[in-house]
A and B are shown apart, each in its own frame.
Chain A
Amino acid sequence: MADLLQFLMSGLTVGAVYALLALGFTIIFNASGVVNFAQGEFVMLGGMGTAFAIAAGLPVPLAALLAILGTAAVGVALNRLAIAPARGAPVVSLIIITIGAAIFLQGAAGLLFDKQIHRYPGFSGEAPLRLAGATLLPQSLWVMAGAALTFAALWLFFTRTLTGKAVLATANNPLAASLVGINTKAIMALSFGLSAAIGAVAGVLVTPITMTAYNTGVALALSGFAAAMLGGLGNPLGALAGGLLLGVLEALTAGYVSSQYKDAVSFILIILVLALMPQGLLGRKTTDRV
């Protein structure tokens, strides 16, 4: 029982990170129809940026804020310089562009920061909490609470603010949105900035647990993508469900089956889900119009 609780705890922590990654995918996919393979680099930039700002002597909150803003700027630049000029390109081209961006950012981070592994201490100390026989790092609570807050804030943004509704309108139908006076170009930039900031938040929160290095982005992007697909691409609630489910399943596999094959879970699951229910767990059914 204590074992199970332990696996659930670590699964939910990782799952919260996957959910944030999947949310980032979802926002960009809804706004532009692009699956952004550079999403994992945002997490890496958030973590590396914070680590270096702390090492430079900044207090933790300021360092985190700086890293998140910087990453958001990278997201906006990515849209402006690489995605927007290729509008209407076939899926293969867009995949190559975002993978190219991921490789570029990885190389740039290796040069700008360094190629070492980095971490900083947890925000509320390192002493593990005991909970019914399981141990829990205080930082895990930060990760889960941070993810929950991010999802709640975004829900409020999309349902209660005019700008949020404009994003939804653009996602639904860019042409109609521009006809009612929405500046869809600005919405696109906002979506990329937002998505990058969310990735950076995940990186800031999880680096004390998992550590970070310039080349951790691609693996993160793949897991986050798996989570987004699992929940149904384009659905924020699906991103949350897919992320948590994937994290817990990975932790259970690592605990009960084989820790070597825990990363296999996401891909076996993805192939099964896509083969059996191609719209994902929470995705809507679509029909092709000819």
Chain B
Amino acid sequence: MKPKHLSLLVLTLLVVAAPFFFPSGFYYRIGALIFINAIAVTGLVILIGYAGQISLGHAGFAGIGAYACALAPEHLGLPPVAAILLGTALSAALAWLVGKPILRLHGYYLGVATLGLGILISMVLSNEAQWTGGPDGIAVPDLGLRGLLRDLGWRIGAGELWYGLAGTVMILGAWLALNLFDSPTGRALRALHGSEVAARTMGIDVARHKLHAFVVSAVYASVSGSLLALMNRLITPDVAGFMHSVQMVTMAVLGGVGSVLGAIFGATILTALPQLLTVFHQYEHMVLGLVMILVMIFLPDGLLPSLMKRLRGRDGE
């Protein structure tokens, strides 16, 4: 079996098996939240892990996806599913427009340019209160899936439904990202990650490939934002804020930005950690900051790849 299929199998098994260990229905919600974060983080694996480009503003695209689901049904009369698509189209268009000039930048400069983009989006969302409800947020219409299932005679709790739905979308997203890895585009992205000059001499259109990775990762973030909005039925501009962007990048890098499974692992830890730390609510910030620093210093490849390396090293002995 190829490693790609093994990864997908492990992921699917974990998603299916986890509910058997849930002590209460509350855990379905945490699970769904983990999957929704994992979708955005998978997009960042393509951008950061494959192509080696940083973004500190991807929450902005999540914000576009989320507010599309809040606003389009009311103002345009679209059903929520079409609103998700509208959000991804808007995010992709914006990523394409802005990505063209700013992806020429490197390192910190690219980080700051994307950071600025994300902050501008969140600023518009909190300032245009007559549309977006301002900092207090806005209600989001029901996806309607649960009603549909009930009419078909299948009664399912909201937590279970969102666990299944977000899990399915996450596995789909992981499948696409894993397929991309060995495709010509994925190879080109990894080549330009190693050296842009070398990639260019091999005939790779560096600018175009970077732009593609940026747009694709923006679509992942947008879908993640849409699902978050539809699940919570309420959305605030925080979804597009700087801290959310940082959270996404941290999840990806913490788990291991080079691998889809690793990044999803990172999303799991950082989503579950604050829920476990509610006991130590006061220390939440300090612990989060400390974890970020320590992992970057001692496990620079991320948690999962470092663990795997250690396990493999022991096997070899």
Contact = CB atoms under 8 A, between A and B. Distances in A.
A278 interface: yes
A101 B105 contact: no
B112 interface: yes
A250 B115 CA distance: 18
Contact of B292 (A103, A106, A108, A111): A103
Secondary structure at the A interface, as helix, strand, loop or mixed, is: helix
Contacts of A268: 116, 120
A111 B101 CA distance: 43
B283 A107 contact: yes
Contacts of B123: 260-261, 263-264
Interface in A135-174: none
Interface residues of A, number: 46
B107 A91 contact: yes
Nearest to B254: A96
Contacts of B207: none
At the interface, is chain B mostly helix, strand, loop or mixed? Answer: helix
A225 interface: yes
Interface string A251-290: 0000000001101101110110011001000000000101
A2 B111 CA distance: 39
Interface in B233-269: 242-243, 246, 249-250, 253, 257
Contacts of B109: 229, 233, 274, 278
Given A91-B107, A261-B127, 5 more contacts: A35-B108, A100-B250, A106-B289, A260-B123, A271-B117
Interface of A: 35, 81-82, 85-86, 89-97, 99-108, 110-111, 218, 222, 225-226, 229, 233, 260-261, 263-264, 266-268, 270-271, 274-275, 278, 288, 290
23 contacts: A35-B111, A82-B297, A86-B296, A86-B300, A90-B300, A91-B107, A93-B253, A93-B300, A95-B108, A96-B250, A96-B253, A96-B296, A99-B292, A100-B292, A108-B285, A218-B242, A226-B116, A260-B123, A268-B116, A271-B102, A274-B102, A274-B109, A275-B113
